[in-house]
Amino acid sequence: MIETKTAAGRHFHFDGCDVVGLARKHGTPLYVVSETAIRARIRELKADFLDKHPGAFAVYASKAFQTLEMCRLVAEEGLGLDVVSGGELYAAAKAAFPMERVFLHGNGKTRAELEMAVELGVGRIVVDNLDELETLDEIAEGKGKRVPILFRITPGVDSHTHEYVSTGKLDSKFGIPLDPSVRQAYVGRALSMKGVELKGFHFHVGSQLHENDSHLKAVRVVLDLMKEVKEAYGFSATDLNLGGGFGVRYTKADSPKGLADFTDPMMAAVTEGCRERGLEMPRVVIEPGRWLVGEAGITLYTVSSVKEIPGIKTYVAVDGGMPDNPRPALYGAKYEAVVADRPDAQPTTVVTVAGKCCETGDILIRDIALPAPARGDILAVFTTGAYCHSMASNYNRLPRPAVVMVREGTDRVSVRRETYEDLVARELP
Ligand SMILES: Cc1ncc(COP(=O)(O)O)c(C=O)c1O
């Protein structure tokens, strides 16, 4: 987390910027994203994964935080981009992201999205189900193309995370369940098609994980699958995509592992597992999203009111909430915050930070100790770089916040704040 230690009486600083000053300059709610922190994570990714394992590749899961600027930064750093919809793909193309480094995911890809991906020539389409396989083959053949694909498999492992972000269980809307008949229907079928070229397999076991055991179990499952299909069809997978899911620190209760604590054992398991099974070493890909951007972002709010219900609790209402950060309402996600005007003041009271929407569940933080927030104070909520801007809505017609990128004391608007006019712009007279 990029926090500059503040001298007594100073405001909270983030990547060298006084965030109270940022709030005054750009208004609130405001997403503030540190370019320094993102680039530091990319450096770690290169040192601890890409440089250690020549031939491996990393793809940024852009659902976590996608802007044109972020696409350009990722392109410049030489990583790939995971997109999951026509909209994310459109933005990648608009940012001139090299299409051969794009992976298209998703369990409900439409025909139009598949056509767009084939037309643009994305590097890999990660096929989730049989209907998609048939549609894709038809589209690609119709255009005289052969599209490289992976199959997303459901490895049948349960990851230790919130049910809504656990994706590798057998009962999952994502991916192909592994039983022999299904294998035949997919692998056998794909190998007979003209429009697709099967390259290998993909799994993603879940998100915000602090333990590597489900990744490791899934590696064993997918290697067994690779061995079976090699024996059954003579097909050697060249690509193995191990997904993302590497956890970050939201609160003091989180103690995330370093990336290498996941990737070193995973790579060892792949190397050893391939050797044991007589498989050639595939090109391994990982897809971090949250890990790359989560801690690089904070959200600034202005306190609108403080309401004490004697003997019950004190609500601190802010000028945003579930539209700019739906995660607490969606998953019970927990956050920490600081009163940015006096970051070093001792906490004097325990409060609940409430959003401004007409939902009782629009609570950003329950029971946090803070130095008596007052109307007009700026509250900085940490670790909002992932799945906040990208999940934002306009519920209650709240305009979505601007994104300001900061870097060593400088700031610039990357995404402007929505206006009221934007909110009605799509409506016909
Ligand atoms: C296929 C796939 N890859 C990668 C990710 C990124 O996950 P995370 O942000 O936890 O790294 C996701 C998240 O939903 C995903 O579905």
Which pLDDT tens digit goes with each residue over 178-227? 877 667 789 999 999 999 999 999 999 999 999 999 999 999 999 999 99
Is the distance from CB of 200 to CB of 150 less than 8 angstroms? yes
From ligand 1's centre to the CA of 263, what distance in Å? 15
Measured at the CA of 105, the angle between CA 102 and CA 107, to 5 degrees, comes to: 165
CA 399 / ligand 1 centre spacing (Å): 27
pLDDT above 80: residue 405: yes
Ligand 1 pocket check for 297: Cβ under 6 Å: no
**Closest residue by CA, ligand 1 atom 15:** 204
Residue 82 beta carbon below 6 angstroms from any ligand 1 atom: yes
Do 325 and 356 form a contact (C-beta atoms < 8 A)?
no
Assess whether pLDDT exceeds 70 at residue 167: no
List the one residue out of 414, 416, 417 whose CA is nearest residue 95.
414
Structure tokens given for 252: 């003091």
Pocket test for ligand 1, best of 60, 70, 79, 82 (most atoms within 8 A of CB): 82
Measured from the Cβ of residue 316, the count of other Cβ atoms closer than 10 Å reads 28
- Of ligand 1's listed atoms, the one at least distance from the Cα of 292 is 11
Confidence of residue 385 (pLDDT cuts 50, 70, 90): very high
Query: How many angstroms separate the CA atoms of 360 and 328, rounded?
Result: 12
- Whether 245 lines ligand 1, by a CB cut-off of 6 Å, is yes
Atom 14 in ligand 1: residue holding the nearest Cα: 207
* pLDDT value of position 159: 63
Q: How far apart are CA 69 and CA 295, in angstroms?
A: 18
Which residue has a Cα nearest atom 5 of ligand 1? 244
* Amino acid, single-letter form, for residue 300: L
**Is ligand 1 within 6 A of the CB of residue 247?**
no
Query: With 80 as the cut, is the pLDDT of residue 166 above it?
Result: no
Instruction: Tell me which amino acid residue 59 is.
Output: V
- Residue 174 has a pLDDT of 85
State the chain's mean pLDDT as an integer. Answer: 94
Rounded to whole angstroms, the Cα distance separating 73 from 309 reads 47
Domains delineated in the chain: 3-34+294-424 (2.40.37.10), 35-292 (3.20.20.10)
Surface-to-core class of residue 154, CB atoms within 10 Å of its CB (0-12 exposed, 13-18 middle, 19+ buried):
buried
Phi/psi of residue 278, nearest 5 degrees? 70, 35
- Whether the Cβ atoms of residue 417 and residue 27 lie closer than 8 Å to each other: yes
Between the CA of 23 and the centroid of ligand 1 the distance, in Å, is 31
Q: Which is the closest atom of ligand 1 to the Cα of 244?
A: 11
247 CA closest ligand 1 atom index: 10
Ligand 1 midpoint to CA 397 (Å): 29
For residue 7, pLDDT beyond 80? no
245 by Cβ neighbours in 10 Å (0-12 / 13-18 / 19+) ranks as: buried
Q: Is 288 in the pocket of ligand 1 (CB under 6 A)?
A: yes
pLDDT of residue 171: 75
pLDDT in tens, 29-55: 999 999 999 999 999 999 999 999 999
Closest CA to 89 of 100, 75, 102: 102
pLDDT score of 165: 60
Mean pLDDT of 349-363: 97
Nearest residue by C-alpha to atom 16 in ligand 1 = 204
**Is residue 399 pLDDT above 50, yes or no?**
yes
SS3 307: strand
Q: What is the pLDDT of residues 229-270, one digit of tens each?
A: 999 999 999 999 999 999 999 999 999 999 999 999 999 999
- Check pLDDT > 60 for residue 6: no
Q: Which atom of ligand 1 is nearest to the CA of 202?
A: 1
- Ligand 1 atom showing the smallest separation from residue 290 Cα: 9
pLDDT in tens, 296-324: 999 999 999 999 999 999 999 999 999 99
Q: Mutation test of ligand 1: which of 287, 291, 330 has the most ligand atoms closer than 8 Å to its C-beta? A: 287
Token digits of residue 185: 């229907």
The secondary structure of 24-85 as a DSSP string is HHH-SSEEEEEHHHHHHHHHHHIIIIITTSTT-EEEEEGGGS--HHHHHHHHHTT-EEEE-S
Which residue in the list 71, 357, 358, 388 is annotated as catalytic? 358
What sign does the dihedral 369-374-375-380 (CA atoms) show? negative
Question: Which long-range contacts link 225-230 to residues 24+ away (Cβ below 8 Å)?
Answer: 225/153, 225/178, 225/183, 225/201, 226/200, 226/201, 226/277, 226/279, 226/282, 227/277, 227/278, 227/279, 228/183, 229/183, 229/187, 230/279
Write down the pLDDT at residue 264. 98
Question: Are 381 and 365 in contact, with CB atoms under 8 Å apart?
Answer: yes
- What share of the chain has pLDDT > 70, as a percent? 94
Mutate which of 45, 63, 164, 169 for ligand 1? The one with the most ligand atoms within 8 Å of its CB, which is 63
Q: How confident is the model at residue 4 (pLDDT cuts 50, 70, 90)?
A: very low
Ligand 1 in reach of 287 Cβ (< 6 A):
yes
Non-local CB neighbours of 58 within 8 Å, separated by 6+ positions? 45, 49, 50, 79, 80, 285, 286, 287, 288
Q: Which uninterrupted H or E stretch holds 110?
A: none
What's the gap in Å between 289 CA and the centre of ligand 1? 6
CA-to-CA distance for 122 and 149, rounded, in angstroms? 10
Active site residue 358: yes
Ligand 1 centroid, distance to 383 Cα (angstroms)? 17
pTM for this prediction: 0.95
Note the pLDDT of residue 9. Answer: 67
* Exposure string for 324-362, b = 16+ CB within 10 A, e = fewer: bbbbbbebebbbbbbbbbbbeeeeeeebbbbbbbeeeeb
Residue 157: pLDDT band with limits 50, 70, 90: confident
pLDDT for the residue 169: 63
pLDDT at 5: 47
Beta carbons of 223 and 272 less than 8 angstroms apart: no
Among protein residues, the one whose CA lies closest to atom 3 of ligand 1: 243
Query: What letters, b where the CB count within 10 A reaches 16 and e where it falls short, cover 217-235?
Result: bbbebbbebbbebbeebeb
Spatial contact of 59 and 27, defined as CB atoms under 8 Å apart:
no
Please, where are the H alpha helices in 109-206?
Answer: 111-120, 130-142, 180-183, 189-191
